[in-house]
Amino acid sequence: MKTPFSLLLVVALTVSISTNAQTKVGDVTVPNTFKAGSTTLALNGAGMRVKYWFDLYVGALYLQTKSNKGSEIAAADKPMAVKMHIVSSKITRDKMVEAINEGFANSTGGNTAPLNTRIKQLLDAFTSIKVGDVFDLVYEPGVGVTLYKNNVKATTVTGFDFKKALFGIWLGVDSVDDDLKNGMLGS
List the domain range (segments joined by +) for residue 91: 24-184
Residue 174 lies in a domain: yes
Q: What is the CATH number of the domain that holds 111?
A: 3.50.70.10
**Of the candidate ranges 11-25, 39-53, 73-87, 98-112, the one whose mean pLDDT is the lowest:** 11-25
The residue among 28, 68, 107 whose CA lies nearest residue 187 is: 68
Residue 87 lies in a domain: yes
Residue 10 lies in a domain: no
| Percent residues over pLDDT 70 in the chain | 89
Residue 51, pLDDT score? 86
Residue 63 lies in a domain: yes
Distance (Å, whole) CA 82 – CA 66: 14
Residue 19 lies in a domain: no
Residue 92 lies in a domain: yes
Residue 109, pLDDT score? 94
Our count of domains for the chain comes to 1
Residue 16 lies in a domain: no
Residue 137, pLDDT score? 98
Q: Is the pLDDT of residue 17 over 80?
A: no
Residue 5 lies in a domain: no
In 3-state terms, what secondary structure has residue 152?
strand
Where residue 20 falls among pLDDT bands split at 50, 70, 90? low
Report pTM: 0.86
Distance (Å, whole) CA 91 – CA 102: 15
Give the pLDDT confidence of 145-180 residue by residue, as tens digits.
999 999 999 999 999 999 999 999 999 999 989 999
Q: What's the whole-number mean pLDDT along residues 106-115?
A: 95
Distance (Å, whole) CA 181 – CA 123: 22
Residue type, 30: V
pLDDT, averaged across the chain: 88
In 3-state terms, what secondary structure has residue 41?
strand
CA within 13 Å, CB half, 32: 8
Residue 18, pLDDT score? 39
Give the pLDDT confidence of 71-95 residue by residue, as tens digits.
999 999 999 999 999 999 999 999 9
